[in-house]
Structure 1
Amino acid sequence: MVRHAATVRQPRRRLPGVSHPLPAPLLLLTPAALVLIGVVGFPWAWSLVTSFTRWSAMESSGPKPVGLHNYADVLTDGAFWHSVGLTALLVGITVPAEICLGFAIAYLLNKDRRGTGIFQILLILPWVVVPVMAGFAWRLMLHPQYGVITYLSHLLHLPTAGWLTQPHTVIFTAIIVEVWRHTPIAVIILLAGLRSVPPDILNAGRADGCGELRLIRHIVIGSIRPFIVFATVTAVMFEIRSFDIVYGLFQSGGPGDGANVLGMYLYNTFTTSLDFGRSSAVAYLLLIITFSATAWMARGAFKRVDE
Protein backbone atom coordinates (compact mmCIF):
# COMPACT_ATOMS: atom_id res chain seq x y z
CA MET A 1 0.00 0.00 0.00
CA VAL A 2 1.30 3.43 -0.91
CA ARG A 3 0.62 6.18 1.53
CA HIS A 4 0.18 9.72 0.31
CA ALA A 5 1.28 12.29 2.82
CA ALA A 6 -0.91 15.32 2.92
CA THR A 7 0.96 18.49 2.10
CA VAL A 8 0.34 21.16 4.66
CA ARG A 9 0.90 24.70 3.37
CA GLN A 10 2.47 26.94 5.94
CA PRO A 11 0.81 30.34 6.27
CA ARG A 12 2.88 33.40 5.35
CA ARG A 13 4.20 35.50 8.14
CA ARG A 14 2.53 38.84 8.50
CA LEU A 15 3.75 42.04 10.00
CA PRO A 16 1.88 43.25 13.07
CA GLY A 17 -1.04 45.47 12.05
CA VAL A 18 -0.88 44.43 8.37
CA SER A 19 -3.93 42.56 7.12
CA HIS A 20 -2.26 41.32 3.89
CA PRO A 21 1.26 39.90 3.70
CA LEU A 22 3.81 42.07 1.89
CA PRO A 23 5.98 40.36 -0.72
CA ALA A 24 9.58 40.04 0.40
CA PRO A 25 11.08 41.56 -2.83
CA LEU A 26 9.05 44.72 -2.27
CA LEU A 27 10.36 45.06 1.27
CA LEU A 28 13.93 44.52 0.09
CA LEU A 29 13.61 47.12 -2.69
CA THR A 30 12.06 49.80 -0.49
CA PRO A 31 15.33 51.23 0.97
CA ALA A 32 16.96 51.46 -2.47
CA ALA A 33 13.81 53.06 -3.91
CA LEU A 34 13.78 55.68 -1.15
CA VAL A 35 17.45 56.49 -1.76
CA LEU A 36 16.81 56.75 -5.52
CA ILE A 37 13.88 59.09 -4.95
CA GLY A 38 16.01 61.27 -2.69
CA VAL A 39 19.07 61.33 -4.95
CA VAL A 40 17.30 61.63 -8.33
CA GLY A 41 13.69 62.60 -7.75
CA PHE A 42 14.29 65.54 -5.41
CA PRO A 43 16.87 67.29 -7.66
CA TRP A 44 14.57 66.84 -10.66
CA ALA A 45 11.64 68.33 -8.79
CA TRP A 46 13.77 71.16 -7.43
CA SER A 47 15.13 71.92 -10.91
CA LEU A 48 11.61 71.94 -12.37
CA VAL A 49 10.39 74.44 -9.78
CA THR A 50 13.53 76.55 -10.27
CA SER A 51 12.95 76.73 -14.03
CA PHE A 52 9.85 78.84 -13.37
CA THR A 53 11.73 81.38 -11.25
CA ARG A 54 14.25 84.14 -11.70
CA TRP A 55 17.14 83.21 -9.47
CA SER A 56 20.73 84.17 -10.05
CA ALA A 57 23.75 83.89 -7.79
CA MET A 58 24.77 87.33 -9.06
CA GLU A 59 21.75 88.89 -7.33
CA SER A 60 21.24 89.15 -3.59
CA SER A 61 17.50 88.57 -3.77
CA GLY A 62 16.04 85.08 -3.66
CA PRO A 63 14.03 83.28 -6.34
CA LYS A 64 11.09 85.15 -7.85
CA PRO A 65 8.33 83.39 -9.82
CA VAL A 66 8.35 84.39 -13.50
CA GLY A 67 6.16 81.69 -15.03
CA LEU A 68 7.27 80.60 -18.50
CA HIS A 69 9.60 83.57 -19.00
CA ASN A 70 12.78 81.46 -18.84
CA TYR A 71 11.47 79.01 -21.42
CA ALA A 72 10.36 81.83 -23.73
CA ASP A 73 13.73 83.51 -23.32
CA VAL A 74 15.61 80.34 -24.27
CA LEU A 75 13.32 79.46 -27.19
CA THR A 76 13.80 82.94 -28.69
CA ASP A 77 17.58 82.79 -28.33
CA GLY A 78 19.33 82.28 -31.66
CA ALA A 79 22.29 80.61 -29.93
CA PHE A 80 19.95 77.92 -28.59
CA TRP A 81 18.70 77.00 -32.06
CA HIS A 82 22.27 77.09 -33.34
CA SER A 83 23.08 74.49 -30.67
CA VAL A 84 20.02 72.45 -31.66
CA GLY A 85 21.22 72.40 -35.27
CA LEU A 86 24.73 71.33 -34.28
CA THR A 87 23.33 68.62 -32.02
CA ALA A 88 21.09 67.36 -34.84
CA LEU A 89 24.13 67.25 -37.15
CA LEU A 90 26.12 65.40 -34.50
CA VAL A 91 23.37 62.83 -33.93
CA GLY A 92 22.61 62.45 -37.64
CA ILE A 93 26.21 61.47 -38.44
CA THR A 94 27.44 59.70 -35.32
CA VAL A 95 24.50 57.34 -34.77
CA PRO A 96 24.49 55.76 -38.28
CA ALA A 97 28.30 55.59 -38.20
CA GLU A 98 28.32 53.87 -34.81
CA ILE A 99 25.65 51.35 -35.80
CA CYS A 100 27.28 50.52 -39.16
CA LEU A 101 30.79 50.24 -37.72
CA GLY A 102 29.47 48.37 -34.70
CA PHE A 103 27.63 45.86 -36.88
CA ALA A 104 30.64 45.31 -39.15
CA ILE A 105 32.99 44.69 -36.22
CA ALA A 106 30.46 42.52 -34.38
CA TYR A 107 29.83 40.43 -37.49
CA LEU A 108 33.54 39.80 -37.97
CA LEU A 109 33.99 38.89 -34.31
CA ASN A 110 31.01 36.55 -34.44
CA LYS A 111 32.24 34.89 -37.62
CA ASP A 112 35.68 34.07 -36.22
CA ARG A 113 35.46 33.63 -32.44
CA ARG A 114 39.13 32.88 -31.85
CA GLY A 115 40.52 35.51 -29.49
CA THR A 116 37.17 37.30 -29.33
CA GLY A 117 37.52 37.93 -25.60
CA ILE A 118 40.78 39.84 -26.07
CA PHE A 119 39.29 41.93 -28.88
CA GLN A 120 36.26 42.75 -26.73
CA ILE A 121 38.53 43.99 -23.96
CA LEU A 122 40.46 46.16 -26.42
CA LEU A 123 37.24 47.48 -27.95
CA ILE A 124 35.76 48.51 -24.63
CA LEU A 125 38.83 50.56 -23.64
CA PRO A 126 37.62 53.80 -25.32
CA TRP A 127 34.41 53.54 -23.30
CA VAL A 128 36.30 52.97 -20.03
CA VAL A 129 38.37 56.14 -20.43
CA VAL A 130 36.88 59.17 -18.68
CA PRO A 131 35.20 61.22 -21.46
CA VAL A 132 36.83 64.52 -20.54
CA MET A 133 40.26 62.89 -20.46
CA ALA A 134 39.56 61.19 -23.79
CA GLY A 135 38.68 64.53 -25.33
CA PHE A 136 41.80 66.12 -23.85
CA ALA A 137 43.97 63.29 -25.20
CA TRP A 138 42.55 63.81 -28.69
CA ARG A 139 43.16 67.53 -28.31
CA LEU A 140 46.85 66.84 -27.68
CA MET A 141 47.04 64.46 -30.65
CA LEU A 142 45.37 67.02 -32.93
CA HIS A 143 47.42 70.00 -31.72
CA PRO A 144 48.34 72.07 -34.81
CA GLN A 145 52.04 72.20 -33.85
CA TYR A 146 52.87 69.34 -31.48
CA GLY A 147 50.15 66.76 -32.11
CA VAL A 148 51.12 63.28 -33.26
CA ILE A 149 48.32 63.23 -35.86
CA THR A 150 49.52 66.56 -37.25
CA TYR A 151 53.08 65.21 -37.39
CA LEU A 152 51.96 62.09 -39.26
CA SER A 153 49.94 64.23 -41.68
CA HIS A 154 53.03 66.31 -42.51
CA LEU A 155 55.15 63.15 -42.74
CA LEU A 156 52.76 61.61 -45.27
CA HIS A 157 52.27 64.95 -47.07
CA LEU A 158 48.57 64.99 -46.19
CA PRO A 159 46.68 68.28 -45.76
CA THR A 160 45.78 69.34 -42.24
CA ALA A 161 42.17 70.34 -41.76
CA GLY A 162 42.54 72.66 -38.78
CA TRP A 163 40.68 70.20 -36.58
CA LEU A 164 40.81 72.46 -33.52
CA THR A 165 40.97 75.92 -35.07
CA GLN A 166 38.48 76.19 -37.94
CA PRO A 167 34.85 76.98 -36.95
CA HIS A 168 33.47 74.87 -39.81
CA THR A 169 35.48 71.73 -39.00
CA VAL A 170 35.50 71.55 -35.19
CA ILE A 171 32.08 69.86 -35.09
CA PHE A 172 33.47 67.08 -37.29
CA THR A 173 36.37 66.68 -34.88
CA ALA A 174 33.84 66.11 -32.11
CA ILE A 175 31.94 63.67 -34.35
CA ILE A 176 35.06 61.57 -34.98
CA VAL A 177 35.88 61.34 -31.28
CA GLU A 178 32.27 60.55 -30.36
CA VAL A 179 32.18 57.71 -32.90
CA TRP A 180 35.49 56.38 -31.58
CA ARG A 181 34.19 56.35 -28.02
CA HIS A 182 30.64 55.04 -28.47
CA THR A 183 31.10 52.45 -31.22
CA PRO A 184 32.23 49.79 -28.68
CA ILE A 185 28.81 49.92 -27.01
CA ALA A 186 27.12 49.19 -30.33
CA VAL A 187 29.57 46.33 -30.92
CA ILE A 188 28.74 44.68 -27.58
CA ILE A 189 24.97 45.00 -28.10
CA LEU A 190 25.00 43.78 -31.70
CA LEU A 191 27.43 40.96 -30.94
CA ALA A 192 24.99 39.68 -28.33
CA GLY A 193 22.27 39.79 -30.97
CA LEU A 194 24.36 37.95 -33.55
CA ARG A 195 25.15 35.19 -31.10
CA SER A 196 21.44 34.69 -30.48
CA VAL A 197 20.79 33.84 -34.15
CA PRO A 198 20.37 30.04 -34.51
CA PRO A 199 23.15 28.59 -36.72
CA ASP A 200 20.59 26.34 -38.44
CA ILE A 201 18.94 29.39 -40.02
CA LEU A 202 22.24 30.63 -41.42
CA ASN A 203 23.18 27.18 -42.69
CA ALA A 204 19.79 26.84 -44.38
CA GLY A 205 20.30 30.20 -46.07
CA ARG A 206 23.72 29.17 -47.34
CA ALA A 207 22.28 25.86 -48.55
CA ASP A 208 19.70 27.80 -50.57
CA GLY A 209 22.50 29.66 -52.33
CA CYS A 210 22.46 32.95 -50.40
CA GLY A 211 25.68 34.90 -50.60
CA GLU A 212 27.14 36.70 -47.62
CA LEU A 213 25.49 40.04 -48.41
CA ARG A 214 22.07 38.49 -49.07
CA LEU A 215 22.42 36.45 -45.90
CA ILE A 216 23.10 39.59 -43.89
CA ARG A 217 20.32 41.59 -45.52
CA HIS A 218 17.50 39.06 -45.50
CA ILE A 219 18.27 36.86 -42.49
CA VAL A 220 20.77 38.37 -40.06
CA ILE A 221 19.43 41.93 -39.89
CA GLY A 222 15.85 40.72 -39.56
CA SER A 223 16.82 38.34 -36.77
CA ILE A 224 18.63 40.96 -34.68
CA ARG A 225 16.37 43.93 -35.43
CA PRO A 226 15.41 44.43 -31.73
CA PHE A 227 19.11 44.62 -30.85
CA ILE A 228 19.68 47.17 -33.62
CA VAL A 229 16.79 49.25 -32.28
CA PHE A 230 18.18 49.11 -28.75
CA ALA A 231 21.68 50.06 -29.91
CA THR A 232 20.28 52.95 -31.97
CA VAL A 233 18.14 54.35 -29.16
CA THR A 234 21.08 54.07 -26.75
CA ALA A 235 23.36 55.91 -29.18
CA VAL A 236 20.80 58.69 -29.70
CA MET A 237 20.46 59.20 -25.94
CA PHE A 238 24.23 59.48 -25.53
CA GLU A 239 24.78 61.80 -28.49
CA ILE A 240 21.96 64.26 -27.76
CA ARG A 241 23.44 64.79 -24.29
CA SER A 242 27.00 65.04 -25.59
CA PHE A 243 29.15 67.35 -23.47
CA ASP A 244 32.25 65.71 -22.00
CA ILE A 245 34.06 65.06 -25.27
CA VAL A 246 33.40 68.59 -26.57
CA TYR A 247 34.57 70.09 -23.28
CA GLY A 248 37.74 68.00 -23.31
CA LEU A 249 38.48 69.05 -26.89
CA PHE A 250 37.77 72.77 -26.69
CA GLN A 251 36.94 73.73 -23.06
CA SER A 252 34.13 75.75 -24.64
CA GLY A 253 31.92 75.68 -27.71
CA GLY A 254 34.96 75.74 -29.97
CA PRO A 255 36.10 78.53 -32.31
CA GLY A 256 33.12 80.58 -33.40
CA ASP A 257 30.86 78.28 -31.32
CA GLY A 258 31.30 75.72 -34.07
CA ALA A 259 30.88 72.85 -31.59
CA ASN A 260 28.47 74.51 -29.15
CA VAL A 261 26.10 71.54 -28.86
CA LEU A 262 23.18 71.56 -26.42
CA GLY A 263 25.17 70.12 -23.53
CA MET A 264 27.81 72.82 -23.95
CA TYR A 265 25.13 75.49 -24.35
CA LEU A 266 23.68 74.44 -20.99
CA TYR A 267 27.12 74.56 -19.38
CA ASN A 268 27.90 78.01 -20.79
CA THR A 269 24.47 79.31 -19.79
CA PHE A 270 25.13 78.49 -16.16
CA THR A 271 28.83 79.37 -15.91
CA THR A 272 28.53 82.78 -17.60
CA SER A 273 25.59 84.13 -15.59
CA LEU A 274 25.04 81.68 -12.70
CA ASP A 275 21.34 81.93 -13.54
CA PHE A 276 19.72 78.92 -11.89
CA GLY A 277 16.30 79.58 -13.40
CA ARG A 278 17.38 79.88 -17.03
CA SER A 279 19.83 76.99 -16.72
CA SER A 280 17.11 74.76 -15.29
CA ALA A 281 14.84 75.68 -18.19
CA VAL A 282 17.57 74.70 -20.66
CA ALA A 283 18.11 71.42 -18.80
CA TYR A 284 14.43 70.53 -19.01
CA LEU A 285 14.24 71.46 -22.67
CA LEU A 286 17.21 69.14 -23.26
CA LEU A 287 15.41 66.42 -21.30
CA ILE A 288 12.24 66.91 -23.37
CA ILE A 289 14.21 66.76 -26.64
CA THR A 290 16.04 63.60 -25.55
CA PHE A 291 12.90 61.84 -24.36
CA SER A 292 10.86 62.84 -27.42
CA ALA A 293 13.53 61.75 -29.91
CA THR A 294 14.20 58.39 -28.27
CA ALA A 295 10.51 57.65 -27.68
CA TRP A 296 9.62 58.47 -31.28
CA MET A 297 12.44 56.33 -32.63
CA ALA A 298 11.72 53.41 -30.31
CA ARG A 299 8.00 53.47 -31.04
CA GLY A 300 8.46 53.51 -34.80
CA ALA A 301 11.21 50.91 -34.77
CA PHE A 302 9.42 48.43 -32.53
CA LYS A 303 6.25 48.91 -34.56
CA ARG A 304 8.15 47.78 -37.66
CA VAL A 305 9.58 44.86 -35.69
CA ASP A 306 6.09 43.68 -34.71
CA GLU A 307 4.94 43.89 -38.32
Structure 2
Amino acid sequence: MRKIFNEYGGWVIVVFVIIALLLLVGGIKSIDDNGKVKGSGLIATIGNIFSNSIEKNNNHLRYLNGECGPNGEPLVSTTESQVGKYADIDGDGTVDGIIFADLAVGGSGTYEIERYYQSGLETLNYYIPKKNTGLKTYYQKGTYTDKMNGTQEVIVPLSNESNRFYIMSLKSINNGKRTTLYNSINENNVPSSDYLKITKYDFGSGKENTLALYNKWLNENYGLQDINDAFNFIHNDIKKGWFIPSSEEWAVFYKQLHITKENYVSKGIEHWIFTSSVTYSYAIAYMKFEGNNVYYSGNPSFSIYTRLATTF
Protein backbone atom coordinates (compact mmCIF):
# COMPACT_ATOMS: atom_id res chain seq x y z
CA MET A 1 0.00 0.00 0.00
CA ARG A 2 2.88 2.37 0.91
CA LYS A 3 4.53 1.58 -2.43
CA ILE A 4 1.32 2.36 -4.28
CA PHE A 5 0.86 5.56 -2.35
CA ASN A 6 4.47 6.60 -3.00
CA GLU A 7 4.07 5.95 -6.71
CA TYR A 8 0.53 7.20 -7.19
CA GLY A 9 -0.13 9.23 -4.03
CA GLY A 10 -1.22 12.39 -5.77
CA TRP A 11 -3.61 10.56 -8.04
CA VAL A 12 -5.08 8.55 -5.12
CA ILE A 13 -5.92 11.76 -3.30
CA VAL A 14 -7.52 13.20 -6.43
CA VAL A 15 -9.60 10.04 -6.95
CA PHE A 16 -10.82 10.07 -3.33
CA VAL A 17 -11.76 13.74 -3.62
CA ILE A 18 -13.68 13.06 -6.84
CA ILE A 19 -15.51 10.12 -5.26
CA ALA A 20 -16.43 12.25 -2.24
CA LEU A 21 -17.72 15.06 -4.46
CA LEU A 22 -19.75 12.58 -6.50
CA LEU A 23 -21.30 11.23 -3.32
CA LEU A 24 -22.13 14.73 -2.17
CA VAL A 25 -23.26 16.29 -5.41
CA GLY A 26 -23.82 13.49 -7.86
CA GLY A 27 -27.10 12.43 -6.23
CA ILE A 28 -28.82 15.73 -7.06
CA LYS A 29 -31.01 15.41 -10.13
CA SER A 30 -33.17 18.53 -10.02
CA ILE A 31 -35.04 21.00 -7.82
CA ASP A 32 -38.84 21.10 -8.14
CA ASP A 33 -41.14 24.14 -8.08
CA ASN A 34 -41.54 23.85 -4.31
CA GLY A 35 -37.79 24.00 -3.69
CA LYS A 36 -37.50 20.27 -2.94
CA VAL A 37 -34.24 18.62 -4.01
CA LYS A 38 -34.76 15.46 -6.03
CA GLY A 39 -32.01 12.91 -5.70
CA SER A 40 -29.78 11.36 -3.05
CA GLY A 41 -26.59 12.16 -1.20
CA LEU A 42 -25.60 14.45 1.63
CA ILE A 43 -26.08 17.72 -0.23
CA ALA A 44 -29.55 16.63 -1.39
CA THR A 45 -30.43 15.80 2.21
CA ILE A 46 -29.07 19.09 3.53
CA GLY A 47 -30.89 20.96 0.76
CA ASN A 48 -34.21 19.41 1.72
CA ILE A 49 -33.64 20.18 5.40
CA PHE A 50 -33.23 23.87 4.53
CA SER A 51 -36.19 23.71 2.13
CA ASN A 52 -38.45 22.15 4.76
CA SER A 53 -37.35 24.73 7.32
CA ILE A 54 -38.18 27.57 4.94
CA GLU A 55 -41.56 26.01 4.12
CA LYS A 56 -42.47 25.63 7.79
CA ASN A 57 -41.48 29.23 8.46
CA ASN A 58 -43.58 30.46 5.52
CA ASN A 59 -46.55 28.36 6.68
CA HIS A 60 -46.22 29.78 10.19
CA LEU A 61 -46.24 33.34 8.86
CA ARG A 62 -49.28 32.57 6.68
CA TYR A 63 -50.99 30.94 9.67
CA LEU A 64 -50.38 34.02 11.82
CA ASN A 65 -51.93 36.11 9.03
CA GLY A 66 -54.98 33.82 8.92
CA GLU A 67 -54.16 32.56 5.42
CA CYS A 68 -53.96 28.83 6.22
CA GLY A 69 -54.03 26.27 9.02
CA PRO A 70 -51.06 25.86 11.40
CA ASN A 71 -49.35 23.42 9.03
CA GLY A 72 -50.31 25.07 5.76
CA GLU A 73 -53.77 23.47 5.51
CA PRO A 74 -56.18 25.18 3.07
CA LEU A 75 -58.90 27.51 4.32
CA VAL A 76 -62.56 26.59 4.00
CA SER A 77 -64.55 28.40 1.31
CA THR A 78 -66.62 31.30 2.65
CA THR A 79 -69.30 30.92 -0.03
CA GLU A 80 -69.71 27.16 -0.56
CA SER A 81 -71.82 25.03 1.78
CA GLN A 82 -69.91 22.74 4.14
CA VAL A 83 -72.99 20.74 5.16
CA GLY A 84 -72.20 17.05 5.47
CA LYS A 85 -68.57 17.53 6.51
CA TYR A 86 -67.26 16.62 9.94
CA ALA A 87 -66.24 19.07 12.66
CA ASP A 88 -63.39 19.22 15.16
CA ILE A 89 -64.64 22.15 17.20
CA ASP A 90 -61.51 22.74 19.28
CA GLY A 91 -58.72 21.43 17.05
CA ASP A 92 -57.77 18.60 19.41
CA GLY A 93 -57.85 16.00 16.64
CA THR A 94 -61.17 14.47 17.75
CA VAL A 95 -64.21 14.68 15.46
CA ASP A 96 -67.12 16.08 17.47
CA GLY A 97 -69.99 15.90 15.00
CA ILE A 98 -71.33 16.52 11.52
CA ILE A 99 -72.28 19.90 10.05
CA PHE A 100 -76.00 20.16 9.25
CA ALA A 101 -76.44 23.92 8.78
CA ASP A 102 -74.13 26.59 7.35
CA LEU A 103 -74.99 30.21 8.15
CA ALA A 104 -72.69 31.50 5.40
CA VAL A 105 -75.08 29.93 2.90
CA GLY A 106 -78.41 29.82 4.73
CA GLY A 107 -81.33 27.92 3.31
CA SER A 108 -85.00 27.08 3.49
CA GLY A 109 -87.32 24.19 2.81
CA THR A 110 -90.27 22.22 4.07
CA TYR A 111 -90.79 19.36 6.50
CA GLU A 112 -93.68 17.34 7.82
CA ILE A 113 -95.17 17.11 11.30
CA GLU A 114 -97.58 14.59 12.79
CA ARG A 115 -100.11 15.07 15.60
CA TYR A 116 -101.87 12.21 17.37
CA TYR A 117 -105.30 13.86 17.15
CA GLN A 118 -105.33 14.45 13.40
CA SER A 119 -104.96 12.19 10.41
CA GLY A 120 -102.28 12.77 7.81
CA LEU A 121 -99.22 14.99 7.94
CA GLU A 122 -98.96 18.76 8.04
CA THR A 123 -96.27 20.58 6.05
CA LEU A 124 -94.29 23.40 7.66
CA ASN A 125 -91.45 25.62 6.46
CA TYR A 126 -87.98 25.87 7.93
CA TYR A 127 -85.59 28.78 7.48
CA ILE A 128 -81.82 28.97 8.04
CA PRO A 129 -80.70 32.62 8.24
CA LYS A 130 -77.77 33.73 6.10
CA LYS A 131 -74.96 35.75 7.62
CA ASN A 132 -72.44 37.44 5.34
CA THR A 133 -70.00 39.02 7.79
CA GLY A 134 -68.40 38.45 11.17
CA LEU A 135 -68.11 34.67 10.89
CA LYS A 136 -65.12 32.61 11.97
CA THR A 137 -62.43 31.47 9.54
CA TYR A 138 -61.95 27.70 9.26
CA TYR A 139 -59.45 25.32 7.70
CA GLN A 140 -59.57 21.74 6.42
CA LYS A 141 -57.65 19.15 8.40
CA GLY A 142 -57.60 15.77 6.70
CA THR A 143 -60.60 13.48 6.36
CA TYR A 144 -62.75 11.30 8.60
CA THR A 145 -64.99 8.33 7.89
CA ASP A 146 -68.29 7.60 9.64
CA LYS A 147 -71.44 5.80 8.57
CA MET A 148 -73.34 9.06 8.99
CA ASN A 149 -71.90 10.44 5.74
CA GLY A 150 -68.95 8.30 4.63
CA THR A 151 -65.54 9.90 4.16
CA GLN A 152 -65.54 13.70 4.33
CA GLU A 153 -63.17 16.55 5.15
CA VAL A 154 -62.77 17.68 8.76
CA ILE A 155 -63.39 21.38 9.46
CA VAL A 156 -61.48 23.18 12.25
CA PRO A 157 -61.96 26.80 13.46
CA LEU A 158 -59.09 29.24 12.99
CA SER A 159 -60.43 32.52 14.40
CA ASN A 160 -62.75 33.73 17.17
CA GLU A 161 -65.61 35.52 15.43
CA SER A 162 -69.23 34.32 15.37
CA ASN A 163 -70.03 30.64 14.88
CA ARG A 164 -70.85 29.67 11.32
CA PHE A 165 -71.92 26.04 11.67
CA TYR A 166 -74.48 23.90 13.48
CA ILE A 167 -73.27 20.37 14.13
CA MET A 168 -74.95 17.22 15.42
CA SER A 169 -73.16 14.69 17.58
CA LEU A 170 -72.43 11.38 15.86
CA LYS A 171 -73.76 9.44 18.87
CA SER A 172 -76.64 9.72 21.33
CA ILE A 173 -76.05 10.46 25.00
CA ASN A 174 -75.73 7.80 27.71
CA ASN A 175 -73.68 5.58 25.39
CA GLY A 176 -76.60 5.25 23.02
CA LYS A 177 -79.05 4.04 25.66
CA ARG A 178 -82.58 5.35 26.07
CA THR A 179 -83.52 7.94 28.67
CA THR A 180 -86.56 9.94 29.65
CA LEU A 181 -86.39 13.69 29.24
CA TYR A 182 -88.28 14.65 32.41
CA ASN A 183 -90.01 11.61 33.86
CA SER A 184 -92.04 13.35 36.58
CA ILE A 185 -93.62 15.95 34.33
CA ASN A 186 -97.37 15.67 33.77
CA GLU A 187 -100.34 17.75 32.71
CA ASN A 188 -101.14 18.71 36.29
CA ASN A 189 -97.82 20.37 37.12
CA VAL A 190 -97.17 22.43 33.99
CA PRO A 191 -99.14 25.70 33.97
CA SER A 192 -100.64 26.50 30.58
CA SER A 193 -99.01 29.92 30.78
CA ASP A 194 -95.64 28.15 30.93
CA TYR A 195 -95.80 25.64 28.12
CA LEU A 196 -96.86 28.29 25.62
CA LYS A 197 -93.74 30.37 26.20
CA ILE A 198 -91.02 28.24 27.80
CA THR A 199 -89.68 26.91 24.48
CA LYS A 200 -89.88 27.57 20.75
CA TYR A 201 -89.94 25.47 17.59
CA ASP A 202 -87.71 27.67 15.43
CA PHE A 203 -84.27 26.98 14.02
CA GLY A 204 -81.78 28.60 16.39
CA SER A 205 -83.90 28.15 19.52
CA GLY A 206 -82.57 24.79 20.72
CA LYS A 207 -79.95 26.18 23.07
CA GLU A 208 -82.37 28.51 24.87
CA ASN A 209 -84.99 25.73 24.97
CA THR A 210 -82.52 23.35 26.58
CA LEU A 211 -81.42 25.87 29.21
CA ALA A 212 -85.05 26.68 30.06
CA LEU A 213 -86.04 23.03 30.48
CA TYR A 214 -82.81 22.19 32.30
CA ASN A 215 -83.40 24.94 34.86
CA LYS A 216 -86.99 23.75 35.40
CA TRP A 217 -85.62 20.25 35.94
CA LEU A 218 -82.84 21.44 38.30
CA ASN A 219 -85.37 23.35 40.40
CA GLU A 220 -87.93 20.53 40.13
CA ASN A 221 -90.58 23.01 39.01
CA TYR A 222 -92.48 20.34 37.09
CA GLY A 223 -91.83 17.39 39.38
CA LEU A 224 -88.95 15.53 40.97
CA GLN A 225 -85.76 14.67 39.14
CA ASP A 226 -85.35 11.08 37.98
CA ILE A 227 -82.08 9.18 37.72
CA ASN A 228 -82.90 8.21 34.12
CA ASP A 229 -83.73 11.74 32.94
CA ALA A 230 -81.54 12.93 30.06
CA PHE A 231 -80.44 16.01 32.01
CA ASN A 232 -78.63 13.75 34.47
CA PHE A 233 -76.21 12.81 31.70
CA ILE A 234 -75.57 16.18 30.08
CA HIS A 235 -74.66 18.64 32.88
CA ASN A 236 -71.13 19.16 31.56
CA ASP A 237 -72.23 19.17 27.92
CA ILE A 238 -74.68 22.00 28.59
CA LYS A 239 -71.91 23.99 30.28
CA LYS A 240 -69.81 23.54 27.12
CA GLY A 241 -72.58 24.87 24.87
CA TRP A 242 -74.20 21.64 23.69
CA PHE A 243 -77.99 21.48 23.59
CA ILE A 244 -80.99 19.37 22.64
CA PRO A 245 -82.06 20.60 19.18
CA SER A 246 -85.44 22.26 18.66
CA SER A 247 -88.02 20.56 16.45
CA GLU A 248 -87.07 22.74 13.48
CA GLU A 249 -83.35 22.16 14.00
CA TRP A 250 -84.02 18.44 13.80
CA ALA A 251 -86.04 19.03 10.64
CA VAL A 252 -83.11 20.94 9.13
CA PHE A 253 -80.80 18.08 10.09
CA TYR A 254 -82.73 15.36 8.32
CA LYS A 255 -83.57 17.51 5.32
CA GLN A 256 -80.12 19.02 4.75
CA LEU A 257 -78.36 15.67 5.12
CA HIS A 258 -80.98 13.80 3.06
CA ILE A 259 -81.80 11.35 5.84
CA THR A 260 -84.94 9.34 5.19
CA LYS A 261 -86.90 6.50 6.75
CA GLU A 262 -85.15 4.23 4.25
CA ASN A 263 -81.55 5.10 5.21
CA TYR A 264 -81.54 6.38 8.82
CA VAL A 265 -80.67 2.98 10.31
CA SER A 266 -77.63 2.57 8.06
CA LYS A 267 -76.43 6.00 9.21
CA GLY A 268 -76.48 5.04 12.88
CA ILE A 269 -79.54 7.10 13.83
CA GLU A 270 -82.27 5.92 16.20
CA HIS A 271 -85.96 5.90 15.23
CA TRP A 272 -87.30 8.23 17.98
CA ILE A 273 -85.26 11.14 19.38
CA PHE A 274 -86.23 13.97 21.75
CA THR A 275 -86.36 17.59 20.61
CA SER A 276 -86.39 20.50 23.08
CA SER A 277 -89.66 21.97 21.80
CA VAL A 278 -92.68 21.75 24.10
CA THR A 279 -95.75 21.57 21.87
CA TYR A 280 -98.77 21.78 24.16
CA SER A 281 -99.64 21.03 27.78
CA TYR A 282 -96.74 18.80 28.85
CA ALA A 283 -96.15 17.22 25.43
CA ILE A 284 -92.84 17.53 23.62
CA ALA A 285 -91.90 17.00 19.99
CA TYR A 286 -89.96 13.91 18.89
CA MET A 287 -87.92 13.49 15.76
CA LYS A 288 -89.56 10.44 14.21
CA PHE A 289 -87.12 9.00 11.69
CA GLU A 290 -89.17 5.87 11.08
CA GLY A 291 -91.93 8.14 9.78
CA ASN A 292 -89.68 10.80 8.25
CA ASN A 293 -91.38 13.58 10.22
CA VAL A 294 -91.51 15.48 13.51
CA TYR A 295 -94.05 14.04 15.94
CA TYR A 296 -95.67 16.84 17.95
CA SER A 297 -97.42 14.67 20.54
CA GLY A 298 -94.50 13.06 22.37
CA ASN A 299 -94.35 12.39 26.09
CA PRO A 300 -91.20 13.54 27.98
CA SER A 301 -91.62 10.63 30.39
CA PHE A 302 -91.28 8.06 27.61
CA SER A 303 -87.89 6.37 27.30
CA ILE A 304 -86.34 7.15 23.90
CA TYR A 305 -83.06 8.65 22.64
CA THR A 306 -81.40 12.05 23.08
CA ARG A 307 -78.75 13.50 20.81
CA LEU A 308 -77.00 16.86 21.23
CA ALA A 309 -76.04 19.65 18.87
CA THR A 310 -73.82 22.71 19.16
CA THR A 311 -72.48 25.60 17.11
CA PHE A 312 -68.87 26.39 16.28
Q: Is TM-score (shorter-chain normalized) higher than 0.5? A: no
TM-score range relative to shorter protein: under 0.3
TM-score with structure 1 setting the length: 0.23
TM-score with structure 2 setting the length: 0.23
More strand by share: 2
Higher relative contact order (CA 8 A, sep 6+): 1
More helix by share: 1
Larger Rg: 2
